[in-house]
Amino acid sequence: GENVEQHPSTLSVQEGDSAVIKCTYSDSASNYFPWYKQELGKRPQLIIDIRSNVGEKKDQRIAVTLNKTAKHFSLHITETQPEDSAVYFCAASGARALTFGSGTRLQVQP
Amino acid sequence: GAVVSQHPSWVICKSGTSVKIECRSLDFQATTMFWYRQFPKKSLMLMATSNEGSKATYEQGVEKDKFLINHASLTLSTLTVTSAHPEDSSFYICSANGRTVDTQYFGPGTRLTVL
């Protein structure tokens, strides 16, 4: 089955700096890679996703890159704000079911 | 669009009792729903895939007789934790595929505490 590894587990940045979270996956058949933001005690919220036919996708301050050959994808958040503080999960899927990474706790210091 | 609700949001029960959690897709039909369990400060672990009108597919290590899943309609799936024990205490979250086949939208979760 699919195995997704996520790094780092915690990340602390100053407000206005950029944050990068990286994930690798094992199953070359995976073709969908979403990123979720989860605040304490709440549901995961889809923030951006990318499919295997695309190398990069951007939505305002958030961007995701995908390297299919190396089987890794990354989340980039620019101009971070305190409200970006949360746990971020990457995931991968090839046939509906998602396999999640272990999560990154991002803390943005004001 | 693509709203998923879950009920109850939290439940406290005594050891040995059964608890039913409902997951509903409010504005779309979901042929497939997923059930996850999340322990504190951990990731989401897929428990089972629920298909409308057929038996659920359970992940390795998940006891199908303990975690009963029913998906009787295109908008409702239920998870029943039978004979609950304190180690079953966790955050249970369902999700459903939205209008694109692979995008998943999550319910708000149910926090189960077994005393």
Interchain CB distance below 8 Å, B103 and A34: yes
Report the pLDDT value the prediction gives residue A48, as an integer from 0 to 100: 96
Report the pLDDT value the prediction gives residue B98, as an integer from 0 to 100: 65
**For the segment A12-58, what is each residue's pLDDT rounded down to a tens digit?**
999 999 999 999 999 999 999 999 999 988 999 999 999 988 899 99
pLDDT above 90 as % of chain B? 71
- When pLDDT is averaged across residues A82-103 and rounded to a whole number, the result is 91
pLDDT over 90 (residue B43): yes
DSSP secondary structure code for residue B59 in this structure: P
Minimal C-alpha gap between B44 and chain A (Å): 6
Interchain CB distance below 8 Å, A100 and B43: yes
Interchain CB distance below 8 Å, B34 and A43: no
- When pLDDT is averaged across residues A68-84 and rounded to a whole number, the result is 96
Average pLDDT value over all residues in chain B: 91
Closest chain A residue to B58 measured between Cα atoms?
A97
- Would an 8 Å CB–CB cutoff place B100 in contact with chain A? no
More confident residue, B83 or B31: B83
Q: What's the count of helices (H) and strands (E) in chain B, helices before strands?
A: 0, 11
pLDDT over 90 (residue A90): yes
CB B33 within 8 A of CB B41: no
**Closest partner residue to B106 among A41, A44, A99, by Cβ?**
A44
Q: How far, rounded to the nearest angstrom, does the alpha carbon of residue A10 sit from its chain's CA centroid? A: 13
A residues 57-86 near B, CB within 8 Å?
none
Q: How far is CA B61 from CA A11, A96, B37, B57, B67, in A?
A: 32, 20, 13, 12, 11
pLDDT above 70 as % of chain B? 96
Name which of B113, B40, B97 is nearest A38 in CA terms.
B40
- Would an 8 Å CB–CB cutoff place A30 in contact with chain B? no
Q: How far is CA B35 from CA A12, A58, A98, in A?
A: 31, 30, 11
pLDDT over 90 (residue A78): yes
pLDDT over 70 (residue B46): yes
Report the pLDDT value the prediction gives residue A9, as an integer from 0 to 100: 97
- When pLDDT is averaged across residues A63-73 and rounded to a whole number, the result is 96
- Would an 8 Å CB–CB cutoff place A21 in contact with chain B? no
